[in-house]
Structure 1
Amino acid sequence: MVTTSPGGAPAPLAVRAAAWHLPEHRVPVGELAEREGLDRERRTVLAGLGIDTVAVDTGLGATAMAERACRGALARAGVAAQDLGALVVVESRAPETLISSEVTRLQARLGADRALAFGVGGLGCVSLGPALLAARGLLAADPDLHHVLVAHASTPATPGRYRHPVTVNGDAGQALLLARTGPVRILDLVQETNGAHWDLFRVDYRDRPWEQWREECRDLPGYSFRLAVETRNRLAALLAGLLKRHGLDRADVAGYASHNLSAGGLRFLEESLDVELLPECRENLARYGHLGPNDVLLNLWTALANRRLAEGDRVVLVNVSPVAAWNLLLVEIGPWESTA
């Protein structure tokens, strides 16, 4: 899935600046409101996820969290919202209202009046991939377009934050200012989906008030075993193909980062790919919980801030969604100044 420029060479794409809105307020998992209504089995699973606290922002909605992250990324790059070429929003799993546009609402709040604005979604955590592909395509197609802002705010789709047996959702906003050059170059992106799992997890909502919304898994054995086997096979094949396409082997990769679902999920990825994930994955999982499409790049930026990676290092970023979808990013670290 390499977008090419008119001359035939791979179109350059890089993260020039990134910012997050991470709520200071964090709720211990043992104090979640829904915990009292869980049976013993579910409480045991919840306690074993490797999540100590979740980030919670009760004062801001999704658009406001995304706006804060966007303003942070623009400020760090010294780019005015009016100068943005495009705004791509990874849409919420449960928008505040139907029919209305979260995308143009964020555009108006930022004052990005000249930007081409649209949304992508439908793939859970992996929805970050289509957003990056869209940004790369826009930059390749229009030489007068210089910056694309990709934004997302992760909030729970239901009143409860625990998603049995998967994870606990936290709140966070993320913004990535994408350009042709920047400290993190996105060299490649590979992605696959399988529609057989399109409704493995779902929330029935039409005939019930919001307070009664519950996310349910229609096939727990299928999630825990059959999808797990497929995920192992898909990711192994995607990684082998990605490295081969760039003439690389495992020794050429300095680190791996993933989305954060649970300690068991991180261990499963390590065993499936025979790799060791950056420790920031487990640290952010324990601190913030699952932040949807925001996880993987937050983990990377945290590792950069900790000076764990150096200029020239290549890193593979792993995203998986139970819809089901799989995504790998190959990035290269350039000259680094703290922009997180």
Structure 2
Amino acid sequence: MPAVAIRATGWCLPEQRIAVADLPELRELSEPERQFCAELGIERVPADDEADSRTLAVQAARRALARAGLTAAELDALILIEPRVPGTLLASDVTAVQAALGATRALSFSVGGLGCASIAPAVLTARGLLCADAGLSTVLVAHGSKPPTTRRYRHPVTVQGDGGFAAVLSRHGPVRILDAVLETDGDYADLFHVDYRDVPVSRWREECADVPKYSFRLALHTRDRLRAIHGRLLERSGLREQDIAGYVCQNLSLATLRFYEEALGVAMEDACARNLRSHGHLGPADAVLNLDTTLAANRWRTGDHVVLFTVSPVAAWSAMLVEVTTGDDILL
């Protein structure tokens, strides 16, 4: 895979925070469900009920562009990782973001369908654009994270916060994306769902069709898939485990974090647990936030290799190999 680079990132993380213990939906849960939520390892999440996913994506995109020293008019392409629930049907979220930014000449479209693993197809698509067209030099990937219903606790998985993420990808930058592996399995496509037709939004519920299937069967399947894609990623790059300076994953729960570590036999960076505690789950942006946070702490040196993992219960699994090419952080 020809390498592409993260030139800059931008974040929109609302200053308002809601404590998990104060979530109104907890009153509707059984005692075991409340206990499960309390043990996720999430203390509070960013929350802005006035901002929709488009607004969060636009604000993050503006910050990423400013960080990269670009104007929106100079942007060659815009890829929006689609929200799990669009604000309206038939309307285009990505062209709305394009118009709000003023990215008038950018080739614009959406990718998604893989939940929190959708960062991988976005990166793979951006890499494809840069490789296929020498006339393109900058691709902006953006996403706005909002919970799919009015309830932030998504039993038995995580608590979702609000946040916007954007990254400018180009051929050169402080972090090079060397390779990415993505696998999917349609046997779990409808494991989680929200029945919404003819149902008021206030009554929307995200439901797990089969909790044991998620907690046990998918967990075992995920363990095997993670090991396989990790091995394939290293083999394709001619690297060994001892050549990897760090690992980051998404933020779902402390149990999931420990599961990653036990399944792979590696230690995740401390930023994963810290961001989990203070931000909860931010959809496809989690792993990149943990990467940025660790870079800002000068944890790695120039030339270090890092692996990012994401998993989605749809089910999808991804691993990305990146190389730090400068000591400068890319956190905005």
- With normalisation by structure 2, the TM-score equals 0.99
- Residues 208-243 of structure 1 show CA distances to partners (whole Å, capped at 9, x for unaligned) of 100000000001000000000000001101111111
After superposition, the CA RMSD in angstroms is 0.7
Shift of 1:201: 0.3
2:26 corresponds to: 35
1:8 corresponds to: none
Q: Percent identity?
A: 53
Shift of 1:336: 2.9
For the residue of structure 2 that corresponds to 1:254, the secondary structure is: strand
TM alignment of 1:139-178, pairs within 5 A: 139-178=130-169
2:86 corresponds to: 95
1:289 and 2:277 matched = no
Which residues of structure 1 form unaligned runs of 5+? 3-10
TM alignment of 1:37-186, pairs within 5 A: 37-186=28-177
Tell me the amino acid that sits aligned with residue 219 of structure 1.
Answer: D
1:252 and 2:243 matched = yes
2:16 corresponds to: 25
TM alignment of 1:177-216, pairs within 5 A: 177-216=168-207
Paired residue for 1:238, among 229, 243, 257?
229
Q: In 2, distance between residues paired with 1:236 and 1:69?
A: 33
Shift of 1:106: 0.2
Q: Is the 8 A contact 2:72 2:103 kept in 1?
A: yes
Which residues of structure 2 form unaligned runs of 5+? none
For the residue of structure 2 that corresponds to 1:271, the secondary structure is: helix
- Residues 53-91 of structure 1 show CA distances to partners (whole Å, capped at 9, x for unaligned) of 011012211111111100001101111111111000000
For the residue of structure 1 that corresponds to 2:180, the secondary structure is: strand
Q: In 2, distance between residues paired with 1:275 and 1:338?
A: 24
Aligned length: 331
Tell me the amino acid that sits aligned with residue 99 of structure 2.
Answer: A
Tell me the amino acid that sits aligned with residue 186 of structure 2.
Answer: G
Shift of 1:258: 0.2
- Pick which of 286-295 and 239-248 moved more: 239-248
Q: In 2, distance between residues paired with 1:171 and 1:130?
A: 22
Q: In 2, distance between residues paired with 1:246 and 1:322?
A: 27
Q: Is the 8 A contact 2:78 2:139 kept in 1?
A: yes
Runs ≥4 in structure 1, deviation > 6 angstroms?
Answer: none
1:7 corresponds to: none
- With normalisation by structure 1, the TM-score equals 0.96
Q: In 2, distance between residues paired with 1:15 and 1:125?
A: 19
For the residue of structure 1 that corresponds to 2:252, the secondary structure is: coil
Tell me the amino acid that sits aligned with residue 77 of structure 2.
Answer: A
Tell me the amino acid that sits aligned with residue 19 of structure 1.
Answer: G
Q: In 2, distance between residues paired with 1:336 and 1:143?
A: 28
Q: Is the 8 A contact 2:295 2:330 kept in 1?
A: no
Shift of 1:194: 0.3
Q: Is the 8 A contact 2:248 2:309 kept in 1?
A: yes
For the residue of structure 2 that corresponds to 1:235, the secondary structure is: helix
Shift of 1:12: 2.7
Shift of 1:339: 2.9
1:15 and 2:6 matched = yes
- Residues 95-148 of structure 1 show CA distances to partners (whole Å, capped at 9, x for unaligned) of 110000000000000000100000001000111111111100110111111100
1:6 corresponds to: none
- Residues 6-30 of structure 1 show CA distances to partners (whole Å, capped at 9, x for unaligned) of xxxxx23000000110111111100
Paired residue for 2:215, among 217, 221, 224?
224
Q: In 2, distance between residues paired with 1:143 and 1:82?
A: 18
Q: In 2, distance between residues paired with 1:73 and 1:105?
A: 18
For the residue of structure 2 that corresponds to 1:173, the secondary structure is: strand
Q: In 1, distance between residues paired with 2:330 and 2:262?
A: 32
Q: In 1, distance between residues paired with 2:267 and 2:53?
A: 33
1:335 corresponds to: 326
Tell me the amino acid that sits aligned with residue 242 of structure 1.
Answer: L
